[in-house]
Structure formats: structure tokens, C-alpha cells
Amino acid sequence: MSSSQVIEQVPSIPANYSRLIARELELQERELSSLLFATTLTSAQLMSEDTLLTPAQQVQIVMNGLRISKDESIGLRLGKKLTPPTHGALGFLANSSPTLLTAVRSFQEFIPTRMSFIEMSLEESGDGLKCYFDLKLEADNTVFRTILDAASMSLLACIEFVLGRELFDGHLQFSLAAPNYIERYAEFIPCPVEFSCARNCLIIPLALKNIENVSSNHENYVIALQQCQQMLSQLPDDALSTTYQVKRLILSYPPGRLSEDAVSELMFITKRTLARRLIKEETGFRQIKEKIMAEQAVNYLRDTELSVESIAGLLNYHDSANFRRAFKRWYHCPPNDYRERYKSTYFE
């Protein structure tokens, strides 16, 4: 086990990381209990966007995942899926940062809001920017290594997004001794990996720290994120209903991006089961999604000066004409007419 001090066991870790483990293991709804063994969590709690786990519960779920998968290298597989968007607002912040250094600093400052057991620190030394990441967990070496593999790859994904390429010129150091699956690191990590080091550290060439992020101009996306956050706060408290879960999933992704197939997969049920449950609640996936899209569209028209074409793009319409037809179906008038009527009513 790591010599790091163990942090207080308070619920602080979003459940979406454990759902990612379930998806990697290809578990169905009826099989989730095996992943949650000895955690006191229910499948419904795992599916709720509001559920927070203690570090001890997260460790137990990783332990259960290792037992189910029978693959000690599962941390590398999980790390491949820990792209910046899986970290919610933190991921969007890092993705929109102007330079590589500010993106790494975003992770350093805010990673405790998502993974309370991780501490990051930065140090410039020689020709490298050293990103230290320490885990404060009470776990055996197998579980500790699994989490360490996944966490290091998540940081690597953030850096590579800004660079627009693999960090083949970096250097990754682990405090633990080399595992018996050492050859698998080359499949997932492009840079050299070293074991039995003093600390866990990802070293980035210092010359890269001020490289500009070509995707840093995300003004429209920030507006979309603000709208989603506003709508999330207005959702009902019935977190166990299928309708509520579908709404939360749709709103957790960029507008218009999530399909019915994707939602059913994220809920660990078949598309047919999802449809059947929504019918019982007197609704359907398309109806839910259309209502959300309609509300987002009018929010953009009321609260921003974005063009109709820009709004169509934000809502994932590849053709603004299709958006105009959809808007007319929702509100019985073209979007520009709606905006003019709103301005004339409230700003005269």
C-alpha cells in the first residue's frame, strides 16, 4: 500500500467513474450488484447522477471489478476511457484552456473536486515540467496500481488533447515496482514508462508548456454548458424515474449529441427495455429529447445574440434549415420571428 496519508472517508467521488467500470466490464443491469458488493450501494444509486462515493466505496468497486474481469491490467483499459469530458466541468475547463500549462494547472487545482484522493503538484526542473500525482488511499497494491494506471492515463489524455498528438516525448514514472503485465503499457502509453521511482510523476518537455491549445476558443460551448447547468437545477427530485435519468444523461453531454442507443448503453439496459420503461411513464426518448432541445433553443434566442446558424450548430443540426423546420414545429413560428417577438415584448 502507498505510504500516503489516507484521506477522510466522506462521499465526494461522482458515481460516473464506477458506471464506466461497469461499461468496460459489459455488465447488464441485473449484474450490477456484483460490482457493488460490500459497498452498501444499490443499482439505483449507482445510476443516479447525484450519488457520491467515499474513497472506501470506490476502492471496493475497483476491487470487485478486478475480481470480475480477472485482468490486473484493467486500469489501463479504464484509463483509455477517462477522457476529459468524463470529468464534467473540470474536463471542459481543461479542454478550453489557452495553453498546455494552464490546462495542467486546471487539473492540479480542481481534480480534488472529482477525485478527492488525488493530489497533484507541479515543478519545473531542468528541461521538464514535472506533474506529480499522489494517491491517498488505503488499498492493496493491486487495487492501488489499477487506480494509478487509470489516473495517469486520464492526465495524459488531457495533455494530448491540447497538444493534438500523443505525448511520445514525455516520461511516466511510477512509485510501484513493475507489474507482471508490464508489456501492456506500450499498448496504451506512447512515452517511456519507468517503475520503482521515488514518486508518481509525468514529465512533460518544458518546451511544450506554453504551446497554444487550438481548441481554446469555446465561447459557444461555454454558453451551452451554462444553459445545461441551469436546466439541471430545474429538474424534478424524482431521481429514480427513468424519465429523470434520461434527462440527466442528455443534459450531461453537449446539446443534441446523445442518441437513444447511447442512453440505453449508459443505463446498462437494452433499447427495448428503455422504451418500455418510458412508455410506462407516458413518454418516450424522442419526446424527452425534443422538449430539451426546444427549451435550449429558446434560451439561446432569448439570452444571447448568436445567429440562428450558430444556434443550429450548437444543437447539433448540420443544416440550419432543418433546425428552422424543427423550431417552427415546436413554437409555430420561425426562430427569428420568435426572437423579435420576445424583444418587442420584454424590452420596449
Domain ranges of the chain: 13-208, 219-346
Residue scoring higher pLDDT (1 or 79): 79
3-state secondary structure of 39: coil
* pTM higher than 0.85: no
Residue scoring higher pLDDT (240 or 329): 329
Distances in Å between the Cα of 319 and the Cα atoms of 30, 286, 314, 326 are 41, 19, 11, 11
What is the Cα gyration radius of the chain? Answer: 22
Give tens-digit pLDDT for 198-227: 999 999 999 999 998 888 766 745 664 565
Give tens-digit pLDDT for 159-202: 999 999 999 999 999 999 999 999 999 999 999 999 999 999 99
Is the four-CA dihedral 334, 340, 344, 345 of positive or negative sign?
Answer: positive
3-state secondary structure of 167: coil
- Strands across the sheet containing 118-125: 118-125, 128-135, 201-205, 171-173, 193-194
Per-residue confidence (pLDDT) for residue 6, from 0 to 100: 46
State phi, psi for 163 to the nearest 5 degrees: -70, -30
- Confidence class for position 63, pLDDT limits 50, 70, 90: very high
Maximum C-alpha span of the chain: 72
Q: Report, as an integer, the average pLDDT of 241-265.
A: 84
Per-residue confidence (pLDDT) for residue 266, from 0 to 100: 85
Distance, CA of 65 to CA of 70 (rounded, Å): 8
Residue scoring higher pLDDT (129 or 11): 129
CA dihedral (84, 87, 88, 94) in degrees, to 10, reads: -50
State phi, psi for 193 to the nearest 5 degrees: -125, 135
Distance, CA of 150 to CA of 76 (rounded, Å): 6
| Domain 13-208 fold | H-NOX domain (3.90.1520)
> Are the C-beta atoms of 309 and 320 separated by less than 8 Å?
yes
Question: Which residues have C-beta within 8 Å of that of residue 305, sequence separation ≥ 6?
Answer: none
- Confidence class for position 23, pLDDT limits 50, 70, 90: very high
Is the four-CA dihedral 52, 162, 94, 301 of positive or negative sign?
Answer: negative
**Mean residue pLDDT across the chain:** 86
Please give the class, per CATH, of domain 219-346.
mainly alpha
> Residue 328, class by beta-carbon neighbours within 10 Å (0-12 exposed, 13-18 middle, 19+ buried)?
middle
Q: Which three cell numbers stand for residue 307?
A: 445567429
At residue 337, does pLDDT exceed 80? yes
Question: Which residues have C-beta within 8 Å of that of residue 294, sequence separation ≥ 6?
Answer: 327, 330, 331
Q: Report, as an integer, the average pLDDT of 70-88.
A: 92
3-state secondary structure of 118: strand
At residue 72, does pLDDT exceed 50? yes
CA nearest neighbour of 209 among 162, 252, 245, 150:
162
% pLDDT > 70, the chain: 89
Q: Which three cell numbers stand for residue 140?
A: 492493496
